[in-house]
């Protein structure tokens, strides 16, 4: 571990300039300072006065206080987004980036809230303290009570992104059951009948892996195919152990949860001399670049998340009409990309 040594202490901070200081220096009222610096169109203020206020603010190093503004307005322009409680892949990162950009264009400030700390309703209370105008909650940590806490504190819109709707909140439903269903159906159509499904050992992923498993089961229900659960940690020796007992499992196919677990397992199977796809077909999910770089090229389920722009529009709509009936939208597109591994 790189060490950060301590250094000795010293002196005191300066006082923070206020809008009163700016008003004094510019020779105007505090209200005028507020109108100018918050770009208010409610009052007509001459160009020279505006300039004087801006110059005084710059000279003093004054910036408006978002909290004071939000106290006056009763709410902020802050959209709060708790960081998801699961490890985030490149697909999700890109989605979040696009969403932040789109909300920024609509003049919202997006802040992400760290995962550490309170859970459940306590988390909702902690978020509410920041008086966000909207809250976007990924995963499944929020209940109806939490939604109520946020709304009572002035949040005009609560939007969940997850497998299940929550009473009182708008829901973007991400149906991971469909991901498993596509994978299972593909393997069945390729003539496979003994299908393994990888369940990652890493915590936080059950919310995705359980419905994916269920989707595979549904895809082969009423057929002669069987489904076997395979527990796998994202570590080489876990994959090697699973591969070592592969032939005793008698499987002819595996849905490996996602492309990264598929890469890990496929390498272990190849090291064990199991031919892919001849002996065992492999399919991942996410359609990452790395799947195209593997040999054989990895089959995968391509996921399509909603566009950040459309989700931003939903948030904006909900903020303008906080009494509207919660919207529910299925937003996860899932299609099989058939390559060489299956």
Residue numbers 31-70 binding a copy of itself by CB under 8 A: 60-70
Binder of a copy of itself out of 169, 183, 187, 264 (CB under 8 A)? 264
Question: Using CB under 8 A, which residues numbered 71 to 110 contact a copy of itself?
Answer: 71, 74, 76, 83, 87-88, 93, 97, 100-101, 103-105, 109-110
Q: Would you say 5 or 222 has its CB closer to a copy of itself? A: 5
Name the packing angle between helices 90-105 and 308-320 (round to 10°): 50
Stretch of 42-50, 206-214, 224-232, 319-327 lying at the interface with a copy of itself (CB under 8 A): 319-327
**Least separation, in Å, of the C-beta of 95 and a copy of itself?**
11
Both tokens assigned to 273: 């001399």
Position among 30, 50, 54, 125 found at the interface with a copy of itself (CB under 8 A): 125
Residues 173-232 that bind a copy of itself (CB under 8 A): none
Q: Is 327 exposed, middle or buried (0-12, 13-18, 19+ CB in 10 A)?
A: middle
- Residue 4 Cβ, how far from a copy of itself at the closest point, in Å? 4
Q: Is 75 left (phi over 0), alpha (psi -120 to 50) or beta?
A: beta
Q: Which residue of 25, 36, 128, 169 would you call a contact of a copy of itself, by CB under 8 A?
A: 128
Residue position matching structure tokens 């496929």: 266
> In the range 228-257, which residues lie near a copy of itself by CB under 8 A?
234, 236
Residues 134-173 that bind a copy of itself (CB under 8 A): 148-149, 151-154, 156, 172
Q: Is the peptide bond before 296 cis (omega within 30 degrees of 0)?
A: yes
Extended strands (E) in the chain? 78-82, 109-113, 134-138, 157-162, 170-173, 194-200, 226-232, 253-255, 281-285, 299-304, 328-330, 333-337
């Amino acid at each position: 571990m790189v060490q950060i040594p301590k250094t000795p202490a010293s002196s005191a901070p300066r006082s923070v300039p206020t809008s009163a200081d700016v008003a004094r220096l510019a020779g105007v009222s505090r209200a005028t300072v507020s109108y100018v610096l918050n770009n208010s169109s409610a009052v007509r203020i001459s160009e020279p006065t505006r300039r004087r206020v801006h110059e005084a603010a710059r000279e003093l190093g004054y910036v408006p206080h978002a909290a004071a503004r939000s106290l006056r307005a009763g709410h902020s322009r802050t959209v709060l987004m708790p960081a998801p409680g699961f490890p985030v892949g490149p697909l999700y990162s890109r989605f979040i980036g696009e969403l932040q950009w789109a909300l920024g264009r609509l003049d919202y400030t997006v802040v992400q809230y760290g995962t550490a700390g309170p859970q459940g309703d306590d988390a909702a209370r902690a978020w509410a303290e920041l008086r966000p105008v909207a809250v976007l909650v990924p995963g499944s940590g929020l209940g109806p009570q939490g939604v109520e806490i946020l709304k009572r504190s002035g949040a005009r819109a609560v939007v969940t992104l997850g497998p299940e709707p929550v009473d009182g909140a708008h829901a973007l439903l991400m149906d991971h059951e469909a991901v498993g269903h596509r994978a299972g159906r593909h393997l069945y159509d390729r003539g496979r009948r003994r299908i393994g499904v990888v369940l990652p050992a890493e915590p936080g992923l059950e919310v995705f892996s359980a419905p994916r498993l269920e989707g595979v089961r549904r895809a082969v229900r009423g057929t002669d195919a069987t489904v076997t659960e395979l527990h796998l940690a994202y570590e080489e020796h876990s994959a090697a152990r699973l591969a070592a007992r592969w032939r005793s499992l008698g499987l002819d196919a595996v849905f490996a949860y996602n492309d990264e677990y598929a890469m890990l397992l496929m390498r272990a199977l190849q090291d064990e001399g199991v031919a892919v796809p001849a002996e065992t077909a492999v399919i991942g999910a996410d359609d990452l670049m790395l799947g195209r770089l593997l040999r054989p090229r990895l089959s995968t389920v391509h996921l399509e998340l909603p566009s950040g722009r459309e989700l931003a529009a939903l948030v904006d709509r909900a903020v303008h009409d906080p009494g509207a009936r919660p919207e529910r939208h299925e937003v996860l597109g899932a299609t099989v990309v058939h390559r060489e591994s299956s």
